[in-house]
Amino acid sequence: MFELSNVIYGNEIRAWLIALGITLAVFIGLRLVEQILIVRIQRLTAKTQTIIDDVVVGALRKTKLVYLFIVALYLGSLGLTLPAGIRAIDWRVLMVATLLQAGIWASAGITMWLAHYSANEEDGANRTTMNALSFLVRIALWTTVLLLILDNLGVDVTALVTGLGIGGIAIALAVQNVLSDLFASLSIVLDKPFVNGDFIVVGEMAGSVEHIGIKTTRIRSISGEQLVCSNNDLLTSRIRNFGRMNERRVVFSLGVTYQTPAEKLEGIPALIREAVEGQSNVRFDRSHFASYGDSALNFESVYYVESSDYAQHMDILQAVNLSIYRGFAAAGIEFAYPTQTVFLEKAETSGTR
């Protein structure tokens, strides 16, 4: 006759039913907690602009029901009397499942973060670089998970880790130039010292960035030829990025003759200011009688062009120079040019007797 007190595999039927009930309750509870967390974090996501909460939600969505069942089954079995060998197997199964689930969460989070970053990249080469980075990171992640699983199963992974380390060093030495350029490419993509279209100057090279690749960056020079430079060389150099310029500072000097009256000298800064402020997208800074030159009275002036466009800067410079020229002509002020005045003195000679 079926009775709850009957013993099966060392435990009463009553204990087996209680364990089953605990397993089902824990499984349902874990599933509810998972869904509640997803809903709560999704509500938080709508109020924030960060990617972190999106990554957490994406990772939680990758939780496997099999893992929740294994956790529930292990917790339910704690009330049973099981042989030491079976209990050890249960623990190892739980650890392996936990490591696999942790790898799935981490892989999903990394993939979502890099996908979000790549979505903001207009350049296909940069997206390719990010995909390569995602692939390398996931390989490292799952290699680590595999080693931890083998160690948990009692396998001695010391020799395997040593072999992987030696092999990795050998591969790194063989392709160190490629790896240095690859990591330099990742640094350029993540840090963005320049992007496609920026006009940069690196040493004697100057031009617009056309393409940022995994190994090299291509620059179109002013004279038309394409310059190809390794990414590692770029990052070890000082880069002047004119594409990030918000405005241009223009400093210029001009000289007038020493014969210019003091009254007209006093009016020159105002005349220059009027010439500069007569242009659009320009902010005047200063103009002063700066120094006495060898053949001129020198004025130094400064203004800002509120644009990074070089062609617009040159148009404004030309307009300012023409306006100053007309203003000087109307005021009767002469520009100076290099001159020398030679004084000759005739020496008096005494008469002879």
Give tens-digit pLDDT for 206-233: 888 888 877 788 899 888 889 888 888 8
191-244 and 248-331 share one CATH topology?
no
User: Which pLDDT belongs to residue 156?
Assistant: 72
Domain ranges of the chain: 7-174, 191-244, 248-331
CB 209 within 8 A of CB 198: yes
The sign one gets for the Cα dihedral 232, 233, 238, 241 is negative
User: Which pLDDT belongs to residue 189?
Assistant: 73
Give this prediction's pTM: 0.50
* Residue 207: partners with Cβ closer than 8 Å, 6 or more residues away: 199, 200, 219, 220, 221, 222, 227
What's the CATH fold of domain 191-244? SH3 type barrels. (2.30.30)
Region 248-331: CATH code: 3.30.70.100
Within the chain, which residues score under 70 in pLDDT?
A: 1-10, 46, 49, 117-133, 157, 159-161, 163-179, 347-353
Task: Classify 225 in phi/psi space as left (phi over 0), alpha (psi -120 to 50) or beta.
Answer: beta
pLDDT digits (tens, 9 = 90+) for 114-133: 777 666 555 555 565 666 66
Q: Which of 137, 134, 88 is nearest to 114 (CA)?
A: 134
User: Which pLDDT belongs to residue 157?
Assistant: 67
User: Which pLDDT belongs to residue 163?
Assistant: 66
User: Which pLDDT belongs to residue 325?
Assistant: 95
